Amino acid sequence: MSEPSVSVIIPVLNEERFLKQSVQAILNQNYSGQFEIILALGPSKDQTNVIAQELAQDKRIKLVENPSGRTASALNNAIKNSNFDIIVRLDGHAIVDSNYIKNAVKTLVESGADNVGGIMGARGVTKFEKAVAAAMTSPLGVGSASFHTGGSEGPAETVYLGVFKRSALERVGGYDPAFTRAQDWEMNYRIRSTGGTVWFNPDLFVTYRPRPNVFKLAKQYFEYGSWRHEVMRRHPDTRRTKSALRYFAPPLAVALIVIGKILGSIGFVMGNALIWGYIFPLGYLALTLVSSLTLVKRARAGALWLPIVLMTMQMSWGIGFLTSRKKN
């Protein structure tokens, strides 16, 4: 019996480093069913669109435009231009193994879920990227979400990327185009709130390429924090979930560090007990250094970057969360 047909959708923006490798991994799938790949092209500033045009010589690959460059809009446009009832959502820097689609579709059918996904397996190339990868795969870096750190198969709040039933996407109206980050989490929330199931399978592993420098990493995590706050605004009940604690941790750390510095400085100038306020920023620094030591084996050549990476991820998220304004 032939496996069901699938549509692979990929938002693409400034992906010249990995796009060819990402698409080739899909073309090499051990999958008997028919599949198509829809690349939604944003206004890239590198050679991404040239590479995409070359790839589209393969008749299984279709190109669609995404003038806004926003991921949610790209995904919605790709879905609109797709033909099949199972939607595989990937990224232009995500690399899947040869059995990914086969195992994901099997999980989708057997679980009865609306969306299935697995591990966001961060893998770095440079020393900096290796440090980011180590932090991303540890609870010390991004919390204990199963799609980062692993866990048992079963229902989940969200998963990395995902393989969807088209009917589920149509039921909730697709991705919210207002979201520039956290669009997957927000989508999965609406799937669950309308009676659907999101299913985590740790055997579904996708290689993720981290940001290449501290500035892009800071921007990424600042936006994560800002848009995660927006999810809480729009869906207040998400503040009461178990996972909410890890989202509140970075802004709480930022607040304590700022308050501690202010009190400590006042105490230093006035010569009184407020100088103990410095315990918060110094304590955070000490905790970061200890956390870095526990990740040295994972980071290997990038170990020296670990304190900077951890502080960048956590502080950027926290500041983004605290300074987030209501989005239109």
Chain segment 11-30, per-residue pLDDT in tens: 999 999 899 999 999 999 99
| 35-41 and 6-12 beta bridge pairing | parallel
pLDDT bin (cut points 50, 70, 90) of residue 143 is: low
pLDDT bin (cut points 50, 70, 90) of residue 148 is: low
Please, what sign has the CA dihedral across residues 209, 215, 220, 225? Answer: positive
Total number of residues shown for the chain: 328
Torsion of CA 165, 168, 174, 176, to 10 degrees: -120
Bigger pLDDT: 238 vs 52: 52
pLDDT at residue 52, as a whole number: 95
Q: What is the mean pLDDT of residues 288-312?
A: 91
| Among 244, 242, 265, 262, CA closest to 254 | 262
pLDDT bin (cut points 50, 70, 90) of residue 141 is: confident
pLDDT at residue 265, as a whole number: 93
pTM summary value: 0.86
pLDDT tens-digit profile of 180-200?
888 998 999 999 999 999 999
The CATH number, out of the four listed (3.40.50.970, 3.90.550.10, 3.30.390.30, 3.40.50.1110), of the domain defined by the range 6-211: 3.90.550.10
% the chain with pLDDT above 90: 68
% the chain with pLDDT above 70: 95
pLDDT at residue 138, as a whole number: 76
Q: Which residue has the tokens 């999101």?
A: 198
pLDDT at residue 235, as a whole number: 84
Residue 1 clears pLDDT 70, i.e. is over it: no
Give Cβ neighbours of residue 75 (< 8 Å, ≥ 6 apart): 9, 11, 40, 89, 174, 175, 183
Bigger pLDDT: 301 vs 280: 280
Per-domain residue ranges for the chain? 6-211, 238-323
pLDDT tens-digit profile of 53-94?
999 999 999 999 999 999 999 999 999 999 999 999 999 999
Residue 149 clears pLDDT 70, i.e. is over it: no
CA–CA–CA angle 3, 81, 19 (5° rounding):
80
| Among 248, 215, 205, 232, CA closest to 97 | 205
Torsion of CA 159, 102, 177, 315, to 10 degrees: 30
pLDDT at residue 318, as a whole number: 94
